[in-house]
Amino acid sequence: MKRTVLVAIMVIAIVAGVVAYASALSDNGTVAITARVNPAIQMTIGTPSFDFGSLNLGSVVTTTTDITVKSNKDWQFTAGAPVFTPDDGLFDAVLSEEYSSASGAILTRGVKSVDTTYTLDLSSDAAYSLDASPTAYQADYLYDAVQQ
């Protein structure tokens, strides 16, 4: 009889183990996460204005600034023609600008800098045409960054 009880307990333990194992089975699944990023562009001009102050003829002065563009798409840099005040054709003869990227250039996405250099050259004969009045000459430059 002891043997029958012992065999019965073992059978019950085996059945319980099989049932427990069967209930411990698992399955798995996947979660897919997607997102679409909207186009974004931001342009910052390091130093948006300069004042060379009062200068003597014969002077050559240079200043620089950077134009930083953050864009998540390729973009085009464009430098518009400067607007001179007064618009008498005199100041533009002595003021020049240079860019590290050519106007019209297509630049790749990311954070990019376009270095700009402005040179006022009062050493040429053209500088003698400038009026020595208290009114300052001014040039306004417009820059565009357009996503492609």
* Domain, as residue range, for 139: 41-147
pLDDT tens profile 90-127 = 998 999 999 999 889 999 999 999 999 999 999 999 99
Q: How far is residue 45 CA from its own chain's centroid?
A: 11
For CA atoms 98, 104, 105, 106, give the dihedral sign.
Answer: positive
pLDDT tens profile 41-71 = 999 999 999 999 999 999 999 999 999 999 9
SS3 per-residue string spanning 30-76: CCCCCCCCCCCEEEEECCCCCCCCCCCCCCEEEEEEEEEEEECCCEE
Q: What is the pLDDT of residue 25?
A: 85
- Are 58 and 81 within 8 A, CB to CB? no
3 domain-assigned: no
pTM: 0.74
User: What CATH number is given to the structural domain containing 59?
Assistant: 2.60.40
Kindly tell me if the per-residue pLDDT of 20 is higher than 70.
no
79 domain-assigned: yes
| Domains in the chain, number | 1
111 domain-assigned: yes
Q: What is the pLDDT of residue 21?
A: 64
Give the CA distances from residue 102 to residues 15, 30, 54, 59, 143, in Å, rounded to whole numbers and listed in that order.
Answer: 81, 49, 31, 27, 12
Identity of residue 127? A
